[in-house]
Amino acid sequence: MKKLVFLIASILVAVSFGCKEKPESKEVLTKEVIFKKEGELQLKKASSDSVLVSLEIEIAEDEYETQTGLMYRKEMQKNRGMLFIFEAETPRSFYMKNTEFPLDIIFLNASNEVVSIQKNAQPFDQTSLPSEGPAKYVLEVNAGMTNLWNLEKGDLMDFRRTD
């Protein structure tokens, strides 16, 4: 009788362990960030006022947008960029944390003049990339584009909102 009770108890314990629900997977799904055209921007040669390039832009101006920027995106079309607009003109510094593709980072003052360019900033690099002077605006474009456009310190930017 003791053997029978022990056998039944063993079976009940084994069945109770075998019938546990499988724990739910806690997979985190991230939503793809889609480009939203919020403006149009032109970069112009300071010496001739000739247009170097026209871009569609997203605008980052609140704290969340300026902290996030182009993070978590896989790519950006060549005719696009992100324009960061800050309240004050001050020395700026950017980094590439969670940015998945290389960028040229263009720093511009309150007069819309290019004060410096950080070329070919590498994905995920957390090295500080400073401006060479006070900047109110920062424009991020695909790496290599500033060389292609022959953009230089002193060249100008015009932009307008479309939203």
Q: Is residue 25 part of a domain?
A: no
pLDDT in tens, 79-111: 999 999 999 999 999 999 999 999 999 999 999
Q: What is the span of the domain harbouring residue 39?
A: 35-161
Predicted confidence (pLDDT) at residue 75 exceeds the cutoff of 90 = yes
Q: Is residue 82 part of a domain?
A: yes
Q: Is residue 92 part of a domain?
A: yes
Integer Cα distance of 5 and 19 in angstroms? 21
pLDDT in tens, 20-50: 444 455 554 456 678 999 999 999 999 999 9
- pTM equals 0.80
Q: Is residue 9 part of a domain?
A: no
CB neighbours of residue 46 within 10 Å: 13
| Band of pLDDT at residue 19, cut at 50, 70 and 90 | very low
CATH number at residue 91: 2.60.120.1140
Q: Is residue 16 part of a domain?
A: no
**Count of domains in the chain?**
1
The dihedral sign for the CA sequence 122, 128, 129, 135: positive
